[in-house]
Amino acid sequence: MGQPTPARTATRTRATDRDWWRDAVIYQVYVRSFADGDGDGTGDLAGVRSRLPYLAQLGVDALWFNPWYPSPMKDGGYDVADYRGIDPAFGTLAEAEKLIAEARELGIRTIVDIVPNHVSDRHPWFRAAVAAGPGSPERELFHFRPGRGAHGELPPNDWPSQFVGSTEPVWTRLPDGEWYLHLFTPEQPDLNWAHPVVRQEHEDILRFWFERGVAGVRIDSAALLAKDPALPDLAAGPDPHPFVDRDELHDVYRAWRRVADAYDGVFVGEVWLPDPERFARYLRPDELHTAFNFSFLSCPWDAGRLRGSIDSTLAEHAPVGAPATWVLCNHDVTRTVTRYGRADTGFDFATKAFGTPADLALGTRRARAAALLSLALPGAVYLYQGEELGLPEADVPVDRLHDPMYFRSGGADPGRDGCRVPLPWTADAPHAGFGSGEEPWLPQPVGWGAYAVDRQQHDADSLLTLYRRAIAARPAFGTGPLTWLPAPEGVLAFTRGRDESRTDAICVLNLAATPTELPPHTGLLLTSGPLDDTGRLPRDTAAWLTP
């Protein structure tokens, strides 16, 4: 630790600047919890603008903003009431435009989050549909159906909630007797993607944001939009699946790609699919540019499993020519240092529980090594705010929880608030420097200030310093493919280079119980922790070497 790193001058051999997304480092901003500029306890665009120098110094290429639109916040903004505005708690559209431009001046692109599967129940379309009544054209934009049972008192089908662990139905009945479909909360009615107006509207929304200078769009729940119009019961075993990964979706994304291409815009899809071949279909050259790699995120801390995940990721992307993405965390999952400090180091929505013990020192050591692993792999890397500070999952008191996942599981699932707690910027300031006014919307745990940016930024051994150095040194790996090196059991070692014929840097990660010798090298670029007295790489530690 603490070695000097090369300045970010090493050349990458990107074909053109238009290919920036193929190997970008993309920082995820959950605006509500990033920085509170106006002191009302909620993060906002003013807060983000004031911290752009921090993000530039970190060295990221782009920011992905979770939904920032007007929203009743029944699902953290994934219940959108107006796709062309900014929630007043966050700022104004003019301010978003300024932010996009200011970031771009610092070399940082912007990615917005579009939520096409559902809208808020406060969206004008849904309000009109409710008011217009059964049989109206307004209701055709959604999935309204009569109920089953003698009096229509039973939901129209047996589909399960897409909030894993939810015990609640995906249908809600209106006073006029009709039911409407919502794969998430009742405040998030699903749109009918068989309707041309729905398709047209979303293409217009994409244009709206591309016109404002955004470089990319993250697509929420990207594999769920299309529904079998017969809405058959799942118990009947319908094939294809009535609402997951239906073939009609590919037409939707081909049309979106035509819109994006006019602006050099790029997509990243939220596609949770176990089948690699089905996943890769979304990444064909005329569809989405990239999709999140949830198999890597969910993978346990185990050499064989990680290598398998890396190999299968690269193999599934190769035939379609799309770059992989490497994701360790986001606003939906247990924070990395907590996950890696548990007995079960994988991630699974179905097994989340209150009170799971975690060894945070162990988890942090592994998270440091995982940072060097993911930043050395070929493709784009996503970094969730606070991951660079090593924030653990916070224990939010149950009476302060907001997340519908908690409420819709009857209180069994802890929900996702623990990874959404406002960031600590200044250790000794009120609210750890998140904002200088009211209490943050989610409480920060005692001791949160210890993770603050001001504590870490001049500390050569901090995780923030490691991330800064690694992002700066990362071009050493070039843009060439990965080649595995022979390594002892439990150790992963690979090389990459500027092109296929060169080896410019080596990454080694030791997941075995004992220290391991480093492979032959001429220089040490960076390590995630100290080497032992004999220069060996200890357990749960990674190193970047020059050959």
- Which residue ranges make up the site for ligand NOJ (CB under 6 A)? 75-76, 78, 115, 184, 220-221, 270, 331-332
Region of 165 (left: φ > 0; alpha: ψ -120 to 50; beta: rest) is left
Amino acid identity of 9? T
Which CB sits closer to ligand NOJ, 245 or 270? 270
Q: Between residues 118 and 365, which has the closer beta carbon with respect to ligand NOJ? A: 118
CA distance linking residue 503 with residue 511, whole number of Å: 23
Would you say 333 or 472 has its CB closer to ligand NOJ? 333
Classify 291 as helix, strand or coil: strand
In whole angstroms, give the CA distance from residue 461 to residue 223. 41
Using an 8 Å Cβ cutoff, are 322 and 315 in contact?
A: no
Rounded distance between C-alpha atoms, residue 105 and residue 507, angstroms: 32
225 burial via Cβ count (<10 Å: 0-12, 13-18, 19+): buried
Question: Of 46 and 115, which CB lies nearer to ligand NOJ in the complex structure?
Answer: 115
**Whether 22 contacts 380, CB under 8 Å:** yes
User: Minimum distance from CB of 394 to ligand NOJ (Å)?
Assistant: 17
Is 270 annotated in the active site?
yes
Identify which of residues 5 and 117 has a Cβ nearer to ligand NOJ in the complex. Answer: 117
Instruction: Tell me the residue type at 418.
Output: G
CB contact at 8 A, 116 and 209? no
Cα separation, 540 vs 366, in Å, equals 5
**List 187, 220, 287, 540, catalytic entry:** 220
Contact 451, 389 (CB under 8 A): yes
Query: What is the rounded distance in angstroms from the CA atom of residue 231 to the CA atom of residue 227?
Result: 7
Residue with tokens 């609640």: 168
Phi, psi of 168 (to 5 degrees): -95, 155
Q: To the nearest whole angstrom, how small is the minimum distance from the Cβ of residue 225 to ligand NOJ?
A: 12
Nearer to ligand NOJ, 100 or 115 (CB): 115
Residue among 270, 287, 316, 540 flagged as catalytic: 270
Does the annotation count 500 as an active-site position? no
Distance CA 89, CA 248 (A): 37
Determine phi and psi for 183, rounding to 5 degrees. -65, -20
Residue 306 corresponds to which tokens in the numbers above? Answer: 């990680």
**Least distance (Å) between residue 66 CB and ligand NOJ:** 8
> Least distance to ligand NOJ from the beta carbon of 4, Å?
38
Q: How far is the CB of 415 from ligand NOJ (least distance, A)?
A: 10
- In DSSP terms, 326 is beta-bridged to 381
CB 310 within 8 Å of CB 482: yes
User: Least distance in Å: CB of 115 to ligand NOJ?
Assistant: 6
The radius of gyration computed from the CA coordinates of the chain, to the nearest angstrom, equals 23
Q: Which is nearer to ligand NOJ, 287 or 417 (CB)?
A: 417
Find the shortest distance in angstroms from Cβ 116 to ligand NOJ. 10
- Residues annotated as catalytic (active site), given as ranges: 220, 270
